């Protein structure tokens, strides 16, 4: 991933954070309004995010070793 | 001009969020996905630097500790969102309703507890993004 897109991601994350609390509150207040299908969809998205992007640092080190050797 | 664009963007996000329930869920999950992606990027950048460049072992260990804390925060936050979607009280909030004898008290305590948790997670995610940004900058040298 390029440097520019990393910066964009950081800025986007920080900006979006500003709306995080009111949005969470809105989500809590509407939590009974979703269909079963919606709930399954969102829960699946959370699970996929956790499995694909939140691996332990050791896994990343292993991958880097495989890719680049020992430097 | 740039500041004004940022302001408009934030205003749009807040406006969109208050427009409908589903939109609030989409925005929340998107924030989560972006924060997780930032973790992924920080971990990749740090691992690459540790293997390829002459980064002291202590520095790599420090990055490892910060990344693990960020990972736990993001996993906990995801589990909190999942509990909210499943309409299940989190263990902490369940504990807070035990003193109640009426449904009204239970609902009120649950809401207060959730709101406190939301504030806590908002702050924790903010700190996490700051820490991940720092790792990316350091690892790039």
What digits encode the pLDDT tens for the residues A47-64? 999 999 999 999 999 999
Contact A28 B118 (CB under 8 A): yes
* DSSP code for A19: T
Global ipTM: 0.75
Nearest beta carbon to residue A25 from set B40, B87, B115: B115
> Is B34 an interface residue toward A (CB < 8 Å)?
yes
Of A16, A57, A69, the CB nearest to B68: A57
Q: Which of residues 20-39 of A touch B (CB under 8 A)?
A: 20-34, 38-39
Q: Which residue has the higher pLDDT, A17 or A50?
A: A50
User: CA of B82: which chain A residue's CA is closest?
Assistant: A43
pTM over 0.80: no
Task: For the beta carbon of residue A59, count every other beta carbon within 10 angstroms.
Answer: 11
Please give the pLDDT value at position A45: 95
Closest among B50, B60, B85 to A31, alpha carbons compared: B85
Q: Which two tokens stand for residue A44?
A: 């699946």
Three-state DSSP string of B106-132: HHHHHHHHHHHHHHHHHHHHHHHHHHH
Report chain B residues whose CB lies below 8 A from the CB of A18: 10, 13-14
Question: Is it the case that residue B17 has pLDDT exceeding 60?
Answer: no
Model pLDDT, residue B24: 76
What digits encode the pLDDT tens for the residues B72-82? 999 999 998 89
Short-list B93, B92, B84, B76, CA closest to B35: B76
Percent of chain B with pLDDT over 70: 85
User: Which residue of B lies nearest to A71 if distances are taken between CA atoms?
Assistant: B52
CB B52 within 8 A of CB A68: yes
pLDDT confidence of residue B66: 97
* pLDDT single digits (tens) B100-115: 899 889 888 888 888 8
């Amino acid at each position: 991933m390029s440097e520019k897109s990393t910066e964009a991601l950081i800025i986007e994350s920080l900006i979006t954070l500003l709306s995080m609390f009111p949005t969470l509150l809105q989500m809590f207040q509407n939590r009974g309004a979703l269909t079963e299908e919606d709930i399954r969809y969102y829960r699946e998205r959370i699970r996929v995010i956790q499995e694909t992007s939140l691996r332990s640092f050791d896994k990343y080190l292993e991958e880097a070793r495989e890719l680049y050797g020992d430097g | 001009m740039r500041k004004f664009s940022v302001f408009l963007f934030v205003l749009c996000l807040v406006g969109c969020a208050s427009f409908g329930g589903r939109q609030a869920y989409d925005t929340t999950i998107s924030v989560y996905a972006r924060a997780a992606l930032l973790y992924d990027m920080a971990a990749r950048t740090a691992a690459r630097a540790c293997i390829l460049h002459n980064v002291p072992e202590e520095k790599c260990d420090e990055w490892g500790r910060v990344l693990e804390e960020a990972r736990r925060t993001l996993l906990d936050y995801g589990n909190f969102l999942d509990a909210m979607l499943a309409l299940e009280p989190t263990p902490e909030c369940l504990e807070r309703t035990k003193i109640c004898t009426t449904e009204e008290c239970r609902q009120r305590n649950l809401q207060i507890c959730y709101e406190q948790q939301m504030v806590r997670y908002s702050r924790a995610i903010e700190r996490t993004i700051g820490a991940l940004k720092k790792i990316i900058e350091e690892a790039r040298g």
